[in-house]
A and B are shown apart, each in its own frame.
Chain A
Amino acid sequence: MSIKADPPPLKTEAELIKGMLAGESSAFEMTVALYHNRMLTIARAIIGEAFAEEIVQDAWLSAIRSLNEFAGRSSLQTWLIQITANAAKTRLRREKRQVSLDENWQQIESDDLFDASGHWREHISEWDLETPEAILANDQLSDIIRQTFEKLPAQQQAVLTLYDLEGETMPQICNILGISASNARVLLHRARSVIHQQIHQYQEND
């Protein structure tokens, strides 16, 4: 059973923390609802699907345990992501066997897009829905974007989340995920390209 309603009046992070310290169930629920998926994304990107749930579970417990000491030095979300990333990296070092990431790799072959001389194979036209507002107002298209986002390989999804949704800087992202700057850049562009491709296909076929 899931309740999908308009978001309740958003509480500030300070209110959520105060609520949790006072033992209010609703504050715990709202905090988990807001941040759990983000934490899973980060854990998956570092250690893979198999350990992600467990890592995030542990990260939550240790975060809640030290909630008293969290004096708002960073945002609650940044702090939770940091705890998750650290837990995942510690576990990664402990796991002897190689953790497999990005198994369902779907790369767009650039040969499909360009001819031998490096030109676009097809004419690139303007989109009919040409603003983000118009795109997201289209229910079908906004579902496509959401589903594509959720199906992105873990590392791509994590970089996209941190950069485009959270507005973290590239050095911070490399630090959180333990990857190089050039790798992060490639992952970001791939993730955006996959979503671009899906929007493009929809607009061309419509």
Chain B
Amino acid sequence: MLKCRDIESMASEYLDKNLSLRQRMAFKMHLFLCHNCRNYIRQLRTTIESIRLMPQKQPIVIDQHVKNLAQQLKDSTQK
């Protein structure tokens, strides 16, 4: 029988669909019985989705560092 501690350590594998059928069954059985772990898995899934959504909300920054390097690269093509 899996413990909550096991659920936590296997959670990414579960969400990435990397568990064997047997492990997956045991995992789901624990979730069925354990309210805390159901909430934890839901939280972790939301966390992963938030991470994946993050770059789309990020502006592209062209600062002096970027400009300097870009200039250096451009110059290197003209030698």
Contact = CB atoms under 8 A, between A and B. Distances in A.
A4 B46 CA distance: 28
B60 interface: yes
A110 B8 contact: yes
A136 B11 contact: no
Nearest to A198: B47
Contacts of B55: 165
Contacts, number: 151
B20 interface: no
Interface string A86-109: 000000000000000000000000
Q: Is chain B's binding surface mostly helix, strand, loop or mixed?
A: helix
A8 B61 CA distance: 10
Contact of B39 (A124, A135, A149, A188): A124
A32 B4 contact: no
Contacts of B6: 118
A70 interface: no
Interface string B49-63: 111111101111111
Interface residues of B, number: 46
Interface string B35-78: 11101101110111111111101111111101101110110111
A126 B50 contact: no
B34 to A, nearest CB: 9
A192 B76 contact: no
B64 A1 contact: yes
Interface residues of A, number: 59
B63 A2 contact: yes
B13 A120 contact: no
Given A8-B60, A118-B5, A199-B50, 11 more contacts: A25-B71, A30-B60, A36-B66, A65-B76, A120-B40, A149-B51, A165-B54, A185-B18, A195-B50, A199-B46, A200-B43
26 contacts: A2-B61, A2-B62, A3-B61, A7-B59, A20-B73, A23-B77, A31-B70, A33-B62, A60-B73, A64-B73, A64-B77, A118-B4, A124-B37, A124-B40, A131-B49, A135-B46, A135-B50, A145-B50, A145-B51, A149-B51, A165-B52, A185-B18, A188-B12, A189-B9, A192-B44, A193-B8
Interface of B: 3-6, 8-9, 11-13, 18, 35-37, 39-40, 42-44, 46-55, 57-64, 66-67, 69-71, 73-74, 76-78
